[in-house]
């Protein structure tokens, strides 16, 4: 079942790549149909999911792959990965719908996105470090081609910068993985086995291994000061590329923290937690402040991603901090962190898709070039306002659920994390200011003659926002899946 | 050569080597009598000899380790790997050079020299005797000089001269090292070296070993014997360049591994090799960065790859993973490098990176082959070199050289710069000022070889782990 979900987009991509004479309409149908089937399969996966218990995995598959270095094709799902798998399929379906009218090399683009979907799904299902690394690296390669091939502006440079930074991160990750492998006895790359072995208990070398892994994941997440690749990559990527980059690829970093760094190196994680908290708080405040200073809408959204990823880091750092409350509070923080991954994927995905509309109509993201856009494009204004309010953490949206839990858990465990709270206020201010500059006042600049949202655009961005609202109003099913896994993570970190 | 010098118990143990030698002699004799337009027969002979050699090598894999011809030659996993890698590589070279050489007046000579140099590389890898090592060095080197200079261009002549001078110098160093080591140990047999040298002064042992290693670094294309590599890659004919940057390495690295494994615990050579590895990969990467000729870029890239290949050599004998890591990396590197050269052979007139603008839309399969081969050289999973990098990084760290693993990881990032400098134009639309203006008419055999080798890269990357477990017996379930 899991393998089917992972391989199906790849097979569809191969079909598209192998049929050079395929019409654009057929290619986009293949993309949309595959993305739809994937979503249905992922939802089915969730429907059939029963909590496997601490350390257990549902839908487990294991085949021999490179047995001599203790690496296998090992897949499995638990409460941490299941929401992200579903999120991935939803985002890709939204992208397929959003690009329905696009005419720019549809066949190649569809194949590339399907390939990208395989790498994302594979990463979240991987239970082996080498398999994880395989999908991690391939996602970088695919995203490089998305930005270089379908971006705009200085896309070659941005794509190169993206590739180099995240590839450097991936090599740091590889070095860390090798350290984990050599530390375990018998040597293995298997994640559950490594978690059970806890080979670096009381071993100071674990600190260096964690440092390498943290560096790799911090670049991908991205956190301050490793975020500099993100704004240019987002600015020059196509709208759907940005949605996937922010919605899914950034989660690979934060997912790595909860899947690999915390359970496999608990001693080192606790020792490093002050540094992790510091980086998290800095990311929150710095991301928000720099976003406030942007005049380019897409760069602004990109910097709010740095801010939102910072919350996740705070929660995970607090879960490992040495002082403070018991495991329930910490589990609340971790649950909030995973919820934030899903929430940020939905909301920022929608925001980037909507921002793409500006580029499509007016060829610019400069907020100063617009004014009074709500008059010619009321639907666009409405959708964007909803997305903005969702992103700044308004109750009834998923972001509120996530951030509330993060702060409730983090401040409970480490009261000092309260200094990150102004980040929420600044984010609120910058979104309100953006709404004001673009949509209110007299119609001027590029806003004149602006055509409103098309059905495909409303459907794609709208469904992501609806999902965010569903999670915000009725979070119980999501939390029910995440909470046991979060409890398990906390007990692994505190051992 | 060796099989006549010694009388042995089991001549069939050297069947893969015998096929190469027989093929070379048959091709030489046949080629002398053939008219120019019928010299393709020698190509068929070479292909048959290489396929037979590869098949014999594959059949002998997994057999128990044996020492033949009075201990002068060892048939084990390393020799088996070398035979297979060399035969398949030489086969790919002949296929990718088919269009370039067909009907030229040097066709049969080319095939004879390829077979002889391949034989030299295999013997270099398999020998466990210093005297045979000297002979194998010459057998692997002399045909190489001729191959590089054969197309008689100015660049080819300069490259051949450079290779020859460096090869002569470092060959003498090797023979000097052999002499000193023999004098100290009282034997040329690897099995007796370590015990023979136990009482010898450390400085003298070091001088002897240094000489031999210097000679082998010439074959491996690593510092300090690397100067010829970029010139040969750029100046020689494409097939010869592909051969010269691939096959001799196999012999050089495995010979170094075998020798250093045998003298384990005499002098502190692991640190020396580790430093050479760091220097080689760094120098190769920095020099490749500014190259604009794809073949010169590949030449410097092979220098940097030699640095990674030295990592398992540095931990020879102290880590069980060292030898498998070396073999896996060699196999992956050989296929990847040849695939990239095959793409340049398919478009021989495009001698700048910008010349490949528009290849992606004009010839998607060839662009795909190029991307797969270059990403493999970077070490992206699931390609062949990724498996190599994973294992050599692990082996070096396991042997205590964690700093070398970190340097190698940083170097990999640097290398990404120049491989991307080639990948990027491939997917850009060809402009009016593109040399050759977007009209891509490939040489068919070279292009097919490129695509085939690219598939091989992926197959090795995905399946080599299982094959390795089947051969070596898996320690894990």
The helix (run of H) or strand (run of E) holding residue B210 is helix B202-220
Residues of chain A contacting B416 with CB distance shorter than 8 Å: 163-164, 167
pLDDT category at B476 given cuts 50, 70, 90 is very low
Q: Quote the distance between the C-alpha of residue A371 and its chain's center.
A: 31
> Does B201 touch chain A if contact means CB atoms closer than 8 Å?
no
What ipTM did this prediction achieve? 0.91
- The answer to whether the Cα torsion of A470, A475, A476, A477 is positive or negative is positive
Mean pLDDT of A347-370: 93
Residues of chain A contacting B472 with CB distance shorter than 8 Å: 68
Is B383's pLDDT higher than 80? yes
Give the model's pLDDT for residue A324: 67
> Does B410 touch chain A if contact means CB atoms closer than 8 Å?
yes
Is B386's pLDDT higher than 50? yes
pLDDT category at A240 given cuts 50, 70, 90 is very high
**Phi, psi at B200, each rounded to 5°:** -75, 150
Which residue among A156, A167, A182 places its CB closest to the CB of B394? A182
Is B176's pLDDT higher than 70? yes
The residue of chain B nearest to residue A180, with distances taken between CA atoms, is B394
- The answer to whether the Cα torsion of B127, B131, B134, B135 is positive or negative is negative
Residues of chain B contacting A172 with CB distance shorter than 8 Å: 409
Give the model's pLDDT for residue B56: 95
Is A99's pLDDT higher than 70? yes
Is B5's pLDDT higher than 60? no
Peptide bond before residue A186 is cis, with ω within 30 degrees of 0? yes
What whole-number distance in Å separates Cα of residue A96 and Cα of residue A239? Answer: 12
What whole-number distance in Å separates Cα of residue A484 and Cα of residue A331? Answer: 9
Which residue among A130, A149, A163 places its CB closest to the CB of B427? A149
pLDDT category at B435 given cuts 50, 70, 90 is low
Give the model's pLDDT for residue B67: 87
Q: Which of B322, B476, B477 to mutate to test the interface with A (most CBs of A within 10 A)?
A: B476
What whole-number distance in Å separates Cα of residue A445 and Cα of residue A442? Answer: 10
Q: Which of B390, B398, B401, B459 to mutate to test the interface with A (most CBs of A within 10 A)?
A: B390
Mean pLDDT of A259-277: 94
Are residues A141 and B380, on separate chains, in Cβ contact within 8 Å? Answer: yes
Give the model's pLDDT for residue A487: 93
Residues of chain B contacting A67 with CB distance shorter than 8 Å: 465-466, 469, 474-477
Which residue among B364, B410, B465 places its CB closest to the CB of A66? B465
Give the model's pLDDT for residue B9: 59
Report percent pLDDT > 90 for chain B: 75
> Does B298 touch chain A if contact means CB atoms closer than 8 Å?
no
Give per-residue pLDDT as tens, A416-473.
999 999 999 999 999 999 999 999 999 988 888 899 999 999 999 999 999 999 999 9
Contact partners, residue A389, CB within 8 Å, separation at least 6: A397, A431
Mean pLDDT of B23-42: 91
Give the model's pLDDT for residue B6: 43
Are residues B476 and A67, on separate chains, in Cβ contact within 8 Å? Answer: yes
3-class DSSP string for chain A: CHHHHHHHHHHHHHHHHHCCCCCHHHHHHHHHHHHHHHHHHHHHHHHCCCCCCCCCCEEEEEEEEEHHHCEEEEEEECCCHHHHHHHHHHHHHHHHHHHHHCCCCHHHHHHHHHHHHHHHHHHHHECEHHHHHHHHHHHHHHHHHHHHHHCCCCHHHHHHHHHHHHHHHHHHHHHHHHHHHHHCCCCCCEHHHHHHHCCCCCCCHHHHHHHHHHHHHHHHCCCCCCCCCHHHHHHHCCHHHHHHHHHHHHHHHHHHHHHHHHHHCHHHHHHHHHHHHHHHHHHHHHHHHHHHCCCEHHHHHHHHHHHHHHHHHHHHHHHHCCCCCCHHHHHHHHHHHHHHHHHHHHHHHHHHHHHHHHHHHHCCCEHHHEECCCCCCHHHHHHHHHHHHHHCCCCCCHHHHHHHHHHHHHHHHCHHHHHHCHHHHHHHHHHHHHHHHHHCCCCEECCCCCCCCCHHHHHHHHHHHHHHHHHHHCCHHHHHHHHHHHHHHHHHHCC
Which residue among A70, A130, A172 places its CB closest to the CB of B476? A70
- The dihedral over CA atoms of A250, A252, A253, A258, expressed in degrees to the nearest 10, equals 130
Mean pLDDT of B121-142: 96
**Mean pLDDT across chain B, nearest whole number?**
91
Which residue among B380, B428, B474 places its CB closest to the CB of A137? B380
What whole-number distance in Å separates Cα of residue A405 and Cα of residue A399? Answer: 10
Mean pLDDT of A122-133: 96
Residues of chain A contacting B397 with CB distance shorter than 8 Å: 178-179, 182
Whole-prediction pTM value?
Answer: 0.94
**Mean pLDDT across chain A, nearest whole number?**
93
Contact partners, residue A28, CB within 8 Å, separation at least 6: A96, A99, A100, A102, A106, A110
Q: Which residues 419-458 of B are in CB contact (within 8 Å) with A?
A: 420, 424, 427-428
**What number of C-beta contacts closer than 8 Å exist between A and B?**
91
Least reliable range by pLDDT among A152-156, A168-172, B382-386, B397-401: A152-156
Give the model's pLDDT for residue A488: 93
How is residue A482 written in tokens?
A: 């995440």
Residue A357's nearest CA partner among A389, A372, A379, A386 is A379
Mean pLDDT of B329-344: 97
Give the model's pLDDT for residue B3: 40
Are residues A186 and B380, on separate chains, in Cβ contact within 8 Å? Answer: no
Give per-residue pLDDT as tens, B134-173.
999 999 999 999 999 988 889 999 999 999 999 999 999 9
How far off is chain B from A282, nearest CA to CA, in Å?
27
Least reliable range by pLDDT among A255-264, B31-40, B50-59, B282-291: B31-40
Are residues B390 and A65, on separate chains, in Cβ contact within 8 Å? Answer: no
pLDDT category at B64 given cuts 50, 70, 90 is confident
Which residue among A64, A69, A164 places its CB closest to the CB of B413? A164
pLDDT category at B471 given cuts 50, 70, 90 is confident
Is A250's pLDDT higher than 80? yes
The helix (run of H) or strand (run of E) holding residue B359 is helix B359-362
Give per-residue pLDDT as tens, A286-317.
999 999 999 999 999 999 999 999 999 999 99
Give the model's pLDDT for residue B2: 39
Is B4's pLDDT higher than 70? no
Are residues B324 and A68, on separate chains, in Cβ contact within 8 Å? Answer: yes
User: Token match 């379908």: residue?
Assistant: A150
Give the model's pLDDT for residue B477: 41
Q: Quote the distance between the C-alpha of residue B129 and its chain's center.
A: 21
């Amino acid at each position: 079942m899991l393998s089917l979900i992972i391989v199906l987009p790849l097979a569809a991509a191969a079909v598209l790549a192998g049929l050079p004479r395929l019409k654009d309409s057929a290619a986009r149908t293949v993309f949309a149909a595959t993305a739809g089937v994937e979503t249905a399969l992922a939802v089915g996966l969730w429907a059939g999911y029963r909590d496997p218990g601490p350390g257990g995995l549902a839908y487990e598959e294991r085949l021999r792959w490179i047995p001599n270095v203790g690496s296998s094709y090992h897949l499995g799902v638990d409460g941490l990965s299941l929401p992200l798998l579903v999120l991935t399929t939803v985002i890709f379906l939204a992208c397929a719908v959003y690009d329905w009218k696009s005419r720019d090399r549809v066949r190649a683009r569809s194949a590339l996105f399907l390939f990208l979907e395989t790498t994302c799904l594979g990463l979240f299902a991987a239970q082996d470090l080498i398999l994880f690394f395989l999908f991690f690296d391939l996602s970088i390669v695919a995203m490089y081609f998305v930005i270089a091939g379908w971006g705009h502006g200085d896309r070659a440079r941005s794509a190169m910068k993206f590739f180099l930074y995240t590839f450097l991160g991936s090599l740091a990750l590889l070095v860390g993985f090798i350290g984990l492998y050599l530390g375990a006895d018998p040597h293995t790359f298997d994640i559950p086995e490594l978690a059970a072995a806890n080979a670096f208990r009381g071993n100071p070398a674990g600190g260096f291994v964690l440092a390498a892994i943290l560096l790799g994941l911090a670049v991908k997440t991205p956190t301050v000061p490793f975020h500099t690749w993100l704004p240019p990559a987002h600015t020059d990527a196509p709208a759907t590329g940005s949605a996937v980059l922010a919605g899914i690829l950034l989660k690979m970093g934060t997912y790595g923290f909860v899947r690999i760094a915390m359970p496999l190196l608990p001693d080192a994680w606790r020792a490093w937690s002050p540094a992790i908290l510091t980086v998290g708080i800095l990311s929150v405040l710095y991301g928000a402040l720099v976003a406030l200073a942007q005049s380019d809408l897409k760069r602004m959204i990109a910097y709010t991603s740095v801010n939102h990823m910072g919350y996740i880091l705070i929660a995970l750092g607090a879960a490992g901090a040495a002082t403070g409350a018991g495991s329930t509070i910490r589990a609340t923080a971790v649950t909030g962190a995973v919820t934030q991954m899903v929430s940020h994927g939905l909301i920022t995905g929608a925001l980037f898709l909507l921002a793409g509309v500006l580029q499509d109509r007016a060829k610019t993201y400069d907020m100063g070039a617009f004014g009074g856009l709500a008059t010619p494009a009321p639907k666009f204004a409405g959708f964007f306002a909803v997305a903005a309010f969702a992103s700044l953490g308004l109750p009834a949206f998923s972001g509120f659920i996530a951030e509330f839990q993060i702060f409730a858990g983090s401040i409970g465990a480490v009261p000092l994390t309260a200094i990150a709270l102004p980040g929420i206020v600044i984010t609120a201010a910058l979104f309100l200011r953006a709404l004001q500059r673009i949509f209110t006042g007299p119609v001027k600049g590029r806003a004149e003659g602006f055509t409103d949202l098309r059905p495909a655009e409303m459907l794609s961005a709208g469904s992501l926002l609806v999902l965010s609202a569903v999670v915000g109003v009725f979070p119980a099913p999501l939390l029910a899946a995440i909470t046991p896994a979060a409890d398990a993570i906390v007990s692994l970190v505190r051992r | 050569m060796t099989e006549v010098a010694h009388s042995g118990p089991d001549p069939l143990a050297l069947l893969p080597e015998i096929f190469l030698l027989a093929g070379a002699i048959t091709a030489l004799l046949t080629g002398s009598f053939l008219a120019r337009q019928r010299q393709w027969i020698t190509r068929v002979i070479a292909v048959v000899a290489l396929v037979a050699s590869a098949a014999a090598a594959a059949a002998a894999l997994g057999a128990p380790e044996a020492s033949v011809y009075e201990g002068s030659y060892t048939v084990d996993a390393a020799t088996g790997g070398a035979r297979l890698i060399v035969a398949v590589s030489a086969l790919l070279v002949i296929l990718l050079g088919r269009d370039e050489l067909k009907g030229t007046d040097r066709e049969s000579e080319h095939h004879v020299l390829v077979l002889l140099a391949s034989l030299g590389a295999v013997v270099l890898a398999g020998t466990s005797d210093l005297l045979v090592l000297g002979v194998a060095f010459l057998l692997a080197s002399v045909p190489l000089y001729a191959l590089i200079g054969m197309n008689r261009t100015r660049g080819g002549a300069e490259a051949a001269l450079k290779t020859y001078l460096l090869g002569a110098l470092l060959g003498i160093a090797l023979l000097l090292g052999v002499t000193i080591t023999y004098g100290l140990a009282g034997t040329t047999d690897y099995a007796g070296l370590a015990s023979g040298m136990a009482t010898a002064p450390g400085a003298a042992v070091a001088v002897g070993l240094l000489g031999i290693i210097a000679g082998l670094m010439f074959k491996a294309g690593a510092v300090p014997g690397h100067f010829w590599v970029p010139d040969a890659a750029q100046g020689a004919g494409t097939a010869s360049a592909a051969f010269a940057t691939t096959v001799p390495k196999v012999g050089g690295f495995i010979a170094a591994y075998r020798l250093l494994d045998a003298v384990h615990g005499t002098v502190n050579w692991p640190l020396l090799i580790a430093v050479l590895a760091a220097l080689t990969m760094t120098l190769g990467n920095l020099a490749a960065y500014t190259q604009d000729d794809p073949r010169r870029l590949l030449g410097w890239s092979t220098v940097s790859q030699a640095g990674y290949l030295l990592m398992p050599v540095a931990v020879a004998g102290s880590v069980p993973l060292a030898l498998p890591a070396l073999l896996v990396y060699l196999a992956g590197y050989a296929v990847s490098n040849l695939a990239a050269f095959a793409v340049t052979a398919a478009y021989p007139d495009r001698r700048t990176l910008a010349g490949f603008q528009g290849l992606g839309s004009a010839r998607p399969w060839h662009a795909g082959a190029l991307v797969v081969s270059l990403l493999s050289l970077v070490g992206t999973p699931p390609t062949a070199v990724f498996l190599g990098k994973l294992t050599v990084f692990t082996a070096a760290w396991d042997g205590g050289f964690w700093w070398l693993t970190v340097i190698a990881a940083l170097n990999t990032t640097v290398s990404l710069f120049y491989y991307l400098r080639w990948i990027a134009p491939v997917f850009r639309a060809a402009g009016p000022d593109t040399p050759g203006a977007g009209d891509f008419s490939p040489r068919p055999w070279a292009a097919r070889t490129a695509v085939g080798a690219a598939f091989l890269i992926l197959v090795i990357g995905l399946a080599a782990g299982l094959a390795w477990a089947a051969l070596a017996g898996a320690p894990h379930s």
